[in-house]
Structure 1
Amino acid sequence: MLKWVASMSDSAAIAFVNARLVDPASDYDGPGSVIIADGVITDIIHGEHPPAGQVGMKVIDCDGNAVMPGLIDMRVKTGEPGSEPKETLKSASLAAAAGGVTSFVVQPDTDPVIDGPAMVDFILRRARDIELVHVYPAGAATKGADGKHLAEIGLMVQAGAVYFTDVDRPIVNSKILSRVLTYANGFNALIAHRPKEPWLSEGAVATSGEMAMRMGLPSVTALSERIALERDLALAELTGARFLVDQISTREGLGSLERAKAKGLEVYASASINHLVFNEIDIGDYRTFYRLDPPLRSERDRQALVAALESGLIDVVVSNHCPAPAEDKRLPFSEAAPGAIGLQTLLPALIGLHLDAEVPLLDLIRAVTINPAQILGLEAGRLARGAPADLIMVDIDAPFALRERDILSKSKNSPFENRTLQGKVLKTFVDGRLVYDQG
């Protein structure tokens, strides 16, 4: 039986006992206890011996459930500002807390675009007012994210932007991308870029192959990703900039990434959870919740991504949370808006990979905790003395079916709807504050 003391503040000492600690930062997965107070972790005890009690300390008996660092999602779209009916920062934060995500990065393709320090400050102030999870803005790499003129990267770094990207719009002009990388390198800023060849990809909604041909869908070869990626990595090598391959999705792209890392380039790669668990067969009934960008790939590609994640070639897993209202999805497949929400399902989908594909849990959780924390320069993502008390309690063995009524995002376009998932988030703490309680 889970013991819970209500009305917990961020200053009261709380002990999580009888827990399974899952902490990739220390490569520990085993029994232990955690004590938090004043918004930080004050002690970690490995082993089955509970900590000595203190006067006024509140105790949570975890009953063998997992305690792990809160997830960090590096790629989240919201509709605020400009398209609030899709998603607000508050609704996204509620969904994040329920999914065990204690920090997420807002993409800059809002209206107006986050391409200056004033917009960066707006996002940070709104997040502080909401007071749920940590929200960090990404800034646009070019003004208006139009790929033509450099944005104010230096000023946005000072304002608090954590990296820079034009999101789903590739910077076609190699000279412009080279200038962006050179400018960003002066501030040690991270540039994220989608490896998307724009002319080959134009109009495509599926990956070339037998499935797309049978369904009569406009498609693009998986090789187009490698074509774009080779140019991007060459420019990263030329400029020496920190570079994030945004949502790698093909076997061919993984080969290019491996060669770049072998050269010692400061290059990282993210993969969408959707491309790790779904493949092109899932679009077989024309269900537009599987209309994604990049499109879903072959099963061989999916398996290659899972292997690359396990080996560490892929550094980060993202939800690629992309809300779209019903009127944008209830259309023919080729006309529907791309994207799917994922803040609430990121962790259960990863646990599913652990159980179904036998990928070690530490390898999976590493890609959503300590790896993104280190790339972004955050103190979170670990269970360690002095670290922020951003942590979650999870029943890894609990199955559940995701129903539309359970989705806290304003948009409901989840490809996991009505699927049986594994792993329930029981409680979420941010800076020692309880922000979500499954009960």
Structure 2
Amino acid sequence: MLTIIRGATVFAPAPLGVKEVLLAGGKVIAIEDSITLDTNVDVEVVNAQGNYLFPGLVDSLVHISGGGGEAGFASRTPEMNVADAFSAGITTVVGALGTDDISRTHADLVAKAKGLKQEGLNAFVHTGSYHVPIKTLSQSISHDIMFIEECIGVGEVAIADHRGRQPTIEELTKIAAEARTAGLLSKKRGTVSVHVGSGVGHLSLLLEVAKTSELPLDQFYPTHINRNSDLLLAGIEFAKRGGTIDFTASTTDYDLANGELAAAEALAYCLEKGVPVDKLTMSSDGHASLPIYDNRNQLVGFEVGDEQALFQSLRQAIIEFKVPVEIAIRSVTQNPAHILGLPKGHVAKGSDADLILVDMATFELTDVWCLGKRVMKEGQVLNRGFFSKA
């Protein structure tokens, strides 16, 4: 099936104006002012006038196989369904383990990623978890990154958090060095995704690794930088030195009332402070546990991350915080794809046909294509996964 999307205002993520986009074989074949085909092959023509066309969203942190457990066994969060991603405009996910790498395993994480790929979603994973020394699926970080197709890096390694294993500078250096070398040998990025808690150390460990080794700051990819204003200021310094920082879209009313910033607000603030556009990203932290702690680190509540939060943060950044469309869309497409070393997050001739349509008047998501297949049409998800009864 050939597909022509006509009349959309294209952000690739650079603004291209009103274009026609031709899809075939899972790829973008052409982007032109006008496309005419002389063929007997069936062609699906989509009238997209009044819509933006964006790259599919790249969600750099999703607990695809479930996570959490900080409120006991009953609080282990459920795994993600493929429809959770497609309904949020997400066409690429990166799965990770977090606090629980005991009842949650890397075998299950990789199996879940393979299942999501079978269902039509682009899915990748990190080896490791909060804990140091790093637990892996096979012999080592190097073996996982080099020989497991879906494994692209390490994460989430926890710093500045009472739930982590309090890694040292030396330990973090060795983790990042091994991930970087394995990435070079397997043509991957070997990024180290770093969970940053609310501890006073903020990002100092990562800065020290860069200062005392040959490793660049962008070997690390710290997330949850919108957790509080002090951490955000540390993140701004980190980004201005060359690192990339990530803001978590899923949050709770309690945390927002107690110092956390919405991801969209943090994005707008960093842009105002002169942080380079390409150093800022947002992710959903979907299906993560969101334990709510008071100032004595006592659990007072519990919620679950939601993939929908990523698109809603994009919408909020543009509508409420007036972030230009081409900048906001980069934070959830091209930028996370770049730091992770993924050939995603852009629309160009020859790129994977991962696309979304967004109504220009309401900024509501209407249509999604993943690898050229239409998985959401006019607001209705068409692909709900293997066990869907729809």
Cα deviation, 1:156-207, whole Å, max 9, x if unaligned, reads 112131221135554413132232123223224111222336xxx5xxxxxx
Aligned residue for 1:358, secondary structure, equals coil
Relative to structure 1, the CA distance from residue 383 to residue 173 in structure 2 (aligned partners, 3 Å threshold; closer, same or farther) is closer
Counterpart amino acid of 1:352? Q
> How many residues are aligned here?
344
Corresponding residue of 1:161: 151
Contact 2:92 2:123 in 1 (8 A): yes
1:53 counterpart (12, 19, 37): 37
Q: What is the deviation of 1:234?
A: 1.2
Cα deviation, 1:109-164, whole Å, max 9, x if unaligned, reads 36657776x556423322233x13212112115xxx43245642111112131221
Distance 1:375 1:299 in 2: 23
Aligned residue for 2:361, secondary structure, equals strand
Corresponding residue of 1:401: none
1:75 counterpart (55, 58, 61): 61
Aligned residue for 2:338, secondary structure, equals helix
Contact 1:251 1:301 in 2 (8 A): no
Relative to structure 1, the CA distance from residue 133 to residue 396 in structure 2 (aligned partners, 3 Å threshold; closer, same or farther) is farther
Contact 1:251 1:304 in 2 (8 A): no
Corresponding residue of 1:271: 247
Contact 1:94 1:132 in 2 (8 A): no
Counterpart amino acid of 1:307? Y
Distance 1:255 1:352 in 2: 21
Map 1:369-388; keep pairs closer than 5 Å. 369-388=333-352
Contact 2:229 2:260 in 1 (8 A): no
Corresponding residue of 1:17: 6
Q: CA RMSD in A?
A: 3.3
Aligned residue for 1:426, secondary structure, equals strand
TM-score when scaled to structure 1? 0.69
Q: What is the deviation of 1:59?
A: 0.7
Corresponding residue of 1:183: 178
Map 1:321-336; keep pairs closer than 5 Å. 321-322=286-287, 335-336=299-300
Counterpart amino acid of 2:366? L
Q: Does 1:315 align with 2:280?
A: yes
Counterpart amino acid of 2:156? D
Aligned residue for 1:228, secondary structure, equals coil
Q: What is the deviation of 1:367?
A: 0.7
Structure 2: tracts of 5 or more residues without a match: 68-72, 184-189, 381-390
Distance 2:56 2:121 in 1: 10
Q: What is the deviation of 1:348?
A: 2.9
Counterpart amino acid of 1:94? A
Contact 2:283 2:332 in 1 (8 A): yes
Distance 2:20 2:8 in 1: 6
Contact 2:132 2:165 in 1 (8 A): yes
Distance 1:299 1:101 in 2: 23
Q: What is the deviation of 1:80?
A: 4.6
Contact 2:238 2:244 in 1 (8 A): no
Larger Rg: 1
Distance 2:314 2:212 in 1: 35
Relative to structure 1, the CA distance from residue 260 to residue 336 in structure 2 (aligned partners, 3 Å threshold; closer, same or farther) is closer
Corresponding residue of 1:290: 253
Q: Does 1:247 align with 2:224?
A: yes
Counterpart amino acid of 1:72? V
Q: Does 1:63 align with 2:49?
A: yes
Q: What is the deviation of 1:40?
A: 0.2
Distance 1:156 1:425 in 2: 36
Contact 1:120 1:161 in 2 (8 A): no
Q: Does 1:98 align with 2:84?
A: no
Structure 1: tracts of 5 or more residues without a match: 1-11, 202-223, 276-288, 399-422
More strand by percentage: 2
More helix by percentage: 1
Counterpart amino acid of 1:238? T
Aligned residue for 1:379, secondary structure, equals coil
Distance 1:290 1:359 in 2: 23
Cα deviation, 1:231-281, whole Å, max 9, x if unaligned, reads 222113323051112221244334444444555x5x211011257xxxxxx
Aligned residue for 1:147, secondary structure, equals coil
Counterpart amino acid of 1:65? N
Counterpart amino acid of 2:203? L
Contact 1:16 1:34 in 2 (8 A): yes
Distance 2:264 2:312 in 1: 18
Contact 2:50 2:360 in 1 (8 A): no
Counterpart amino acid of 2:132? G
Aligned residue for 2:305, secondary structure, equals coil
Corresponding residue of 2:386: none
Contact 1:193 1:244 in 2 (8 A): yes
Contact 1:108 1:167 in 2 (8 A): no
Q: Does 1:429 align with 2:355?
A: no
Aligned residue for 1:322, secondary structure, equals coil
Distance 1:432 1:390 in 2: 7
Distance 1:171 1:390 in 2: 38
Distance 1:392 1:191 in 2: 28
Distance 1:353 1:345 in 2: 12
Map 1:130-169; keep pairs closer than 5 Å. 131-140=119-128, 145-148=130-133, 151=136, 152-158=140-146, 159=148, 160-166=150-156, 169=163
Aligned residue for 2:244, secondary structure, equals strand
Aligned-residue identity in percent: 19
Distance 1:112 1:88 in 2: 16
Cα deviation, 1:72-95, whole Å, max 9, x if unaligned, reads 001112445998983234x2x211
Counterpart amino acid of 1:387? S
Aligned residue for 1:172, secondary structure, equals coil
Distance 2:210 2:103 in 1: 25
